[in-house]
Structure formats: structure tokens, C-alpha cells
Structure 1
Amino acid sequence: MARIVLFGDFKVNQVKHLNLSSELTLLLNSSDVNMANFEAPIKTNGAPLKKSGPNICQHIESPNWLIDRGFNVVSMANNHTMDFGEQGMVATQKAFEKIVTVGCGPWDEAYCLKTIDTKDGKKVGFIACTQCEFGTLTEKGGCGCAWAMSPAINKLIVDSRDKVDALIIMPHGGVEYMDMPLPEWREVYKQWIDLGADAVIASHPHVPQGWEIYKNKPICYSLGNFCFEALKENNVPKHWYESLCCVLEVSGSHDIEMQIRPIKFDGKDLYISDNDSQEFAEHLKWMNDTLSDDEAYKKEVNKSVKKLLPHYMGMFSRGGLVTGALQKNFIKGFLEGLMGRGFFNKVHALNNIQCESHRWAILRALRLKENIK
């Protein structure tokens, strides 16, 4: 039996004092594949990419920290891999040259199946992709990250199924800090299972979301942050430091089972360990119960997107698009612009439109507001 262990987003500023519990170390040592999403490139002299949102990088020893602890696959398909251009991406890939990187590079490398042979003779395949943000490859040419909605991903899944004993897709997408996945992502992930994927294990929202079994195949909508040092410690979203470890057991060809192990990161002591919080366990149960109840799920999604609409309208205003009467978020965006923080920067509006998660959330919220079916 092959064991695959997957963690969420990894981004650290320094690794000198970062440690894992003995229990998690034992888990890593006993598995065939250990995988995480490497959320940002290592620090280089690369020029920052023009984008909406922060350009972030991480410690140059971050790759070695993961490699030394048994990680042999990393996804680099995310919205920060290209934050410092091709130079940052290439330097990061080189730092991981002893292990497998998935989901970025020139077109043929980004949209490519990567495989690992386990000690019991099974071949496990990995595909990684991201929602459409800055640095995403939506057409051939240049370097970047594979786009989740590209027809090339569907074709790759179909072409890859018969080449491996287990096919794992690790997408990076969703609305940040939402407890529920958008309905559109649920449909996309289920379609990937229909096409031949054996598991879909997602990241990006920076908080955990629920999971479910579809046609005997596991889908986890967000693992949350494996280890992500916050940009502003005084404004950390709830569950930022609590996440999921996904353990997949492959007993036969395309025969797979999933276990979820709650974990936590102590941002002060830089320590990652199992999470036995009863409150967090109840939160996970609530998410999964909601996912299994169509009416409750729809209600929760609608509540979340309506709450986010003023934020999106503020981003449109900062992008120079007046979208309605003056409101708090428009005024806030204007004042931020006066202080040199990006007002009339069209990339803010562009990202609301190009990123399918934002676009889907905005469309749903506007339909609800205007009572349009």
C-alpha cells in the first residue's frame, strides 16, 4: 500500500527555529510521498511582477527545510510563484532540483504529468494548477503556472489516467477566508473525477474548507495553511494557523482512501503539530455537515458573497471604475489612493474580472442584490 501525505500552503520568512512535532515527523518518515504547496518563490534579485495584491517571497533555505524532512513533491502552481518573474521561479525550481516540482515553467512543463514510483511498485501521478491570476499561463508562450480552467488540464487528466495507479490533482483556487467552496469549484473538481482523477486536494483560501467523497473519490476543497507566517500578526483571520493534513492510501490501481488529520502552526514558537482543539473539530464537522445539505450550503455561500461585495466594489473603485453611488468602500479606496496606495491602478479591476473565483463571487452577490435568478 502506498501512502501519500499532502499539506497546504507553505511560506516562511526564516526556517532556523521552525520545527515539526515528533508525531508529524513520524508520519512523514512512514509515507511514500510528502507534498505541499510552495506558496512563494525564494528571495532573489528578480523584479517584482506588476499585479494586484502583495509580491511575496520566502527564505532561501525554505526548500531545504522541506527536503530535509522528506518532502519529495511540491506544487508551484499558485498566485505567488511568479511574483518576482521568471528569475524567481527558475531559482526556486533549481532549489528543488532533487525532488519533483509540479505546475509551473514553460507551457509544456507547466501542463505536465509528474510521477513518483513508490516502494511497493505503484506509480503515482500529480497535476497542479491555479486559478487565473497574475503569472498564470492562459496561452502558450513564456513561463508561468498552469491554469485550472484551461482545456489543456482536462486533456491532461484524460491522457494521464492510464499511465498511473493513482492520479492526484492539486488545484490552487477559491475565495480567501471563506469556509465554503464556491459551487463552481465543486462542479469543476467533480468533473475532474469524472475525467479520471482519483483525488482532488485543493489549497489557496488560507483557511480549511470541507471535504467530501464523490464516486468513491476524495475531494478536499482547501487544506488551509500548512505553515504561513502572516504578513500582519495583528490582523490574522480565524483559522489562519489551523489546517488539514490529507493522508491518502492507495491499495490498488485507482483504489484510494482518504483520512484527514487536523494540524496547527504556532506562529510565535514556529512549531507545527497535531491539532486536538475541540472547537476546531466542531468547526470541521459544521463545514462537512453544511456541504452535505444543499439548502444550508447555498445559504452559507450566499451569505459569504454578499458580505464580500463591498470589498469587491472597493477594489473596482481603486481600479478607477466607479460602480455605484459613493459608499464607504469607494471613499476608503479613494483615500488610500491619495496616500499612494494604488488608486486608479487598473490591475485591481483586472484581477476581479480575470480571476474566476472573484468573478463567480461577484456575479453571485450582484444577482442576489438585484434579485436576478
Structure 2
Amino acid sequence: MADDLSFDAGGAGSEWSLFVAGDCVPDRDDTPLVAPTVVDRIADADLAAANLEAPVETDADPVSKSGPALTADPDAPERLADAGFDVLALANNHVMDYGATGMRATREACATAGVRTAGAGEDRTDALEPARFEVRGVDVAVVSVCEREFGVATADRPGTAWSGHRDAVAAVRGAADDADAVVVLSHGGAEYVPLPPPSRRARLREFVEAGADLVVGHHPHVAQGWELYEDAPVFYSLGNFVFDRQADEENTARGLALDVRFANGAVAAVDLVPTVLDGSVRLLDGDAADEYRDYLHRAADVVADEERYEAHWQAIAVRLFYERYSNWLMTGVGENLALARTNPHDPDAQRPLWDPERRRRELLTLLNLFRNESHGAVVTTALEVLSGNRSDRRTESVEESVDALLAWTGR
């Protein structure tokens, strides 16, 4: 297969390869996770990584958070190990869905299966500790981080490695000091869109500035564009790899894996490996693969062009604001505005009838919208454009281009 992307790696050093896949939440045991052709691609690589986006099932109760609480099949780590994966990223918005109990059980299950993990731990330092490998004489460090949702680790609390904390950049810099090659797996972004928010783009670029040789994103459930930044490839999202609960929708059944070849610590070439979850994960081929690659390159072209990126992101943010965020915001405060203006500790206050559990879920949704970096980027961009506080770069041709891209990512 011809290289999709080639880079000048200096022409020196040991050659080795890395296979990287996106989000994994296997929750069935009746069919193989990965088809033989994909297993062969994984086996051909010296190292293989993916994101395990849910804890294995335990007896623990789900934590208080917004959104669904996910679990993976108890045998998921072993089955991913059997497919050839060597390291699984745990920094994501679901691995703490069942608290420290679920996270610890997942790390233990991975260790038992012979798969290393990164991105979650007993405190922030532990969560930021890279998974380290020696590959053909090259020291490789894999760092896993995620945007802030529920369950990020602190100095004295278990959880996931928060990409927005200053220690995350320091961890990448420290890994670069010790290793020949640093790979950062970063979970975050806006879901079901082809481009990353500006805040996410800036943070992933910071990881390159700190010494990362390759940065790979996931979380949006669809593949997004990429760019070459300071000689390091940055892929903003690979989409789903084996995410069973989203396999029945065409856009989320497709994914992108990467076959990355290094010369010592520098990326020399990247093959794009389009995949589709169709019973098992198989290679996307024929006209479907060609059309998908065309979408991927068009999204990458937008990311690499500053003016087009700004205009396209504005168009996407405004659409998301009307289609998702305005509803979420109104659910949180609009229907209960009287409650929001009432002192709950005043026994004489007149308050409307309300469901405390429903209200708690609404407040958790609001908390996540305001605290998460990418959610904040969507709302801020949309409000700035709609209020006239930012120059509106949307045009008819931009809207048409966004339509074409969203056809590959929207639900």
C-alpha cells in the first residue's frame, strides 16, 4: 500500500512501526472483535495502541455525572490483547463511570491480559505516568490524557489524566527527556463533527511543542482532519474502532486506524487504514474506502488552512449551538428559571413543583457544559459570532462545504 503521508525523518535511526486505533467499548462475546485482515495489520506493527473507553463490569454503582454510564465486556482487555494490542489508553470520559472501583478493576484486567495502560491512576501523577516500551532498540513513551469531564484525577484522588492541567504538558516534556519517541493519545473534542475546536487544537499543538513526536486524538466517535505541526503529525480524532452500541449507524461504524512508521523517534510515514465495524472490525475497501479517504483528506485540508478552518469552525459551532447546546442550556435553566432565582434555604420562598433527581441531572449537564474545554469552545464561538462580537466568516460556499463534511460525521 502506498504511503498516504510521508515525512522527512532525517534518514537515520532504527525503523519501527506503530498501529493506532480509536475508541473501543466491546460489550458482546458472540463474534470476533477484529477480522483476520485487521489482525494481520496489527500483527505487522511492532507496537499497537487503542483507547478503551469504558471500565469492565463490576459490582460498583455508577457515579453521579451527566451522560450515560458505560461498561465493557469483562473479557474486553483479554480480547483486545488477543487482537494484538499492547497498550490501552484509559484517559477518557467513561473509564471512571463506576468510580475508582471500576477503574482499578480495568487496570487489573488489562495487566492480567498482558496489556499495559496509561491515563488513569491513584492520583494525578500516577495517571500521567507514560506506558514505556523498548521497540527495536528505541525507547518509546505513550502518554494518555483527556479533557475534563467527570472523574479527572487530582493530587490526592484517583481518576484520569486531565489534558488541561499544567502537569500534562510537563509530563509530555518529561517523557521527551527520557524517551527517543513520545506518542500522546488525547481524548476530547466535539462529537460527530469533522474538525476540532480551537482550544483542543491549541492544546494538542502544545504537546508537540513539549516534545511529542505523534499526537492522536479520539472521542468524537468519527474521524476528523489532521495536520503536520512542527514536523509532528497531529490527528484530531480516529473515530470508533469497536464501539458496539454505535455499530448500527454508518458514520459511527466507520473508523480510521493509523499504520505509522518511524525512523528512530521521528515519524517517517503514515498509512491511513479505514475500518468499519460490521460484525467484526474489518478493513473498508473498494469505492467506499476511496470515498472515505477523500473525505478525510478534505477535512485535513481545512484544518491546515487557517482562514478556512476559522470559517468552517464558526459554521459548525453555530449549528451545534442551535441543534444541541441551546436545548441543553434551556433544559438546565429555562424551564426552571423561577427555581434558579429562588433561595432554596428560604422556608417561606414560593417554589414550583420539581423533581429533585431530574434537577440534579440538569445541573450536572450544565456543569459539564461550562467545565469541559470543547463544550465551552462551541458555545463561546457561537455566541461571539451570533452577537457580533467576532467577525462572521461564514459564507454560502463555507456552509456548503460544511454540509458535505457533516454528511460523513453527523448522526
Paired position in structure 2 for 1:306: 318
Matched, 1:202 2:217: yes
Q: 1:10 to 1:136 in 2, by over 3 A?
A: same
Secondary structure at the aligned position of 1:2 is classed as: strand
- Higher mean C-alpha deviation, range 314-323 or range 40-49: 314-323
Paired position in structure 2 for 1:297: 309
Does structure 1 retain, via aligned residues, the 8 Å contact 2:242–2:277? Answer: yes
Question: Of the candidates 117, 121, 127, which is equivalent to residue 110 of structure 1?
Answer: 127
Paired position in structure 2 for 1:331: none
Question: Of the candidates 187, 192, 202, which is equivalent to residue 177 of structure 1?
Answer: 192
Paired position in structure 2 for 1:287: 299
Q: 1:201 to 1:231 in 2, by over 3 A?
A: closer
Matched, 1:144 2:144: no
- Residue-by-residue CA offset, 1:276-320 (whole Å, 9 max, x unaligned): 413212211221222233232222211111111132122123223
- TM-score, normalising length from structure 2? 0.81
Does structure 2 retain, via aligned residues, the 8 Å contact 1:19–1:272? Answer: no
Which amino acid is the alignment partner of residue 101 of structure 1?
A: T
Structure 1 unpaired stretches of 5+: 325-336
**Greater Rg over alpha carbons, structure:** 2
Which amino acid is the alignment partner of residue 307 of structure 2?
A: E
Q: 1:44 to 1:288 in 2, by over 3 A?
A: same
Does structure 2 retain, via aligned residues, the 8 Å contact 1:49–1:83? Answer: yes
Matched, 1:153 2:163: no
RMSD, matched Cα: 2.1
- TM-score, normalising length from structure 1? 0.89
Which amino acid is the alignment partner of residue 81 of structure 2?
A: I
Q: 1:283 to 1:254 in 2, by over 3 A?
A: closer
Please show how residues 1-373 of structure 1 align to structure 2 within 5 Å. 1-97=15-111, 98-107=114-123, 108-118=125-135, 120-137=136-153, 139-230=154-245, 233=248, 236=249, 239-254=251-266, 256-266=268-278, 269-276=279-286, 277=288, 278-310=290-322, 311-320=324-333, 345-373=362-390
- Residue-by-residue CA offset, 1:104-158 (whole Å, 9 max, x unaligned): 011221011220111x211110110100000112x31221000001100111111
Does structure 2 retain, via aligned residues, the 8 Å contact 1:4–1:248? Answer: yes
Which amino acid is the alignment partner of residue 116 of structure 1?
A: F
Q: 1:193 to 1:146 in 2, by over 3 A?
A: same
Structure 2 unpaired stretches of 5+: 1-14, 338-353, 391-411
Secondary structure at the aligned position of 1:16 is classed as: coil
Determine the C-alpha separation between the residues in 1 that align with 2:61 and 2:134: 37
Does structure 2 retain, via aligned residues, the 8 Å contact 1:4–1:31? Answer: yes
Q: 1:343 to 1:125 in 2, by over 3 A?
A: closer
Paired position in structure 2 for 1:334: none
Aligned length: 354
Does structure 2 retain, via aligned residues, the 8 Å contact 1:218–1:257? Answer: no
Which amino acid is the alignment partner of residue 200 of structure 1?
A: V
Does structure 2 retain, via aligned residues, the 8 Å contact 1:320–1:344? Answer: no
Which amino acid is the alignment partner of residue 372 of structure 2?
A: C
Identity %: 27
